[in-house]
Homo-oligomer: A and B are copies of this chain.
Amino acid sequence: MKLTILFGGASFEHEISIVSAITLKEKLSNFELTFIFCDSDHTFYLIDASKMKAITFSKGEHKKMPVLTLTQGAFLQKKIFSKSEYSSTVLNLIHGADGEDGTMAALLDFYAIKYIGPRIDASIFSYDKRYTKYLCEAIGIKSVRYEVIYKNEHCNITIPYPIIVKPVSLGSSIGVSIVKDESELDYALDVAFEFDDTLIVEPFLEGVREYNLAGYFANNAMHYSIVEEPHKEEFLDFEKKYMDFSRSEQVAQADISEALRLRLQTNFEKVYRGLFEGALIRCDFFVFHDEILLNEINPIPGSMANYLFEDFATALEELSLSLPHAKRPKVTYDYIHSISKAKGK
């Protein structure tokens, strides 16, 4: 099948997106792929598949490739006497800002380009960790208690140490610290405020088990990946997660009971349905004192969590045939006509 991989973005996770795209190129070798790179200045480039190497971007060689603009139904390449349109379904693979904050969803919807990825509202509820908490509360999903800290405001944390400090809007562990006691707090806040003006603080739960589950809705049913228990030291730092993003070999199923697997799936479906249709997402759950807590929603997981699926290519193909389409209301001028008539009397 044809698929356009859209990657890059003006984001702290720009490089991770490049790694994801390169990984998917290998993983989807039987697809007819188009690669579109969104540079950090928001210029789109058409990238030759043979140049899909990290060094192409770090050396700025992509700037010599064709520039694309958005037009109704397609990305457009203008040539001197002609133009080419790239209109195949897009896989939004921009992690973090631009990709996961609703921007790309809005652009693709506005220009009527079909895409795999979270819609605008789903983006908002997964990109900002505060709003994920709002969602959990509203739909009855348990999550870890939290407090919010704002830059330049007095910080009054009541959660007992150890705590975990995170920028509200970044993934990939960027700016995240575990703080064992008050002496480590200032440094952790400084680091996190480098990346965001709003932070979230949670208790660091000792002895928690973490389970990752990916899934999507297609053909009128939910489809789930295997459940993985990610290996971790305290938690994955950025560099380790970065390497993690290039994973392409299927991982082992976590050693959990069928009952727990089903409970994780039930929680996943509750988060997903009515909001994430069109996206393949990964939910990271905690199990703590036999309770399931939602830790994080990754609406565009690293390398699309391909390593969690037995047949990833088929999964993407299925999903691409079940994409929601943005409805455009038909505009009539009934009221203006009737008012003009009334005035004419």
Contact = CB atoms under 8 A, between A and B. Distances in A.
Contacts of A123: 120
Contacts of A133: 138
Given A103-B120, A110-B98, A15 B54 contact: no
The number of times this chain is found in the oligomer is: 2
A234 to B, nearest CB: 20
Interface in A50-103: 54-55, 57-58, 69-70, 72, 97-98, 101-103
A61 to B, nearest CB: 12
A17 to B, nearest CB: 10
Interface string A255-283: 00000000000000000001000000000
A334 to B, nearest CB: 8
B57 A336 contact: yes
A274 B150 contact: yes
Interface string A315-338: 000000000000011110111110
Interface in A291-336: 328-331, 333-336
Interface in A1-42: 10-12, 14-15, 18, 40-42
B72 A335 contact: no
Contacts of A14: 329, 331
Label chain A's interface by main secondary structure: helix
Contact of A124 (B54, B72, B120, B242): B120
A202 interface: no
Interface string A109-129: 111100000001101110010
Residue from A15, A336, A339 having most chain B Cβ neighbours under 10 A: A336
A251 interface: no
A11 B274 CA distance: 21
A252 interface: no
Interface string A147-178: 00010000000000000000000000000000
A134 interface: yes
A94 to B, nearest CB: 12
A106 interface: yes
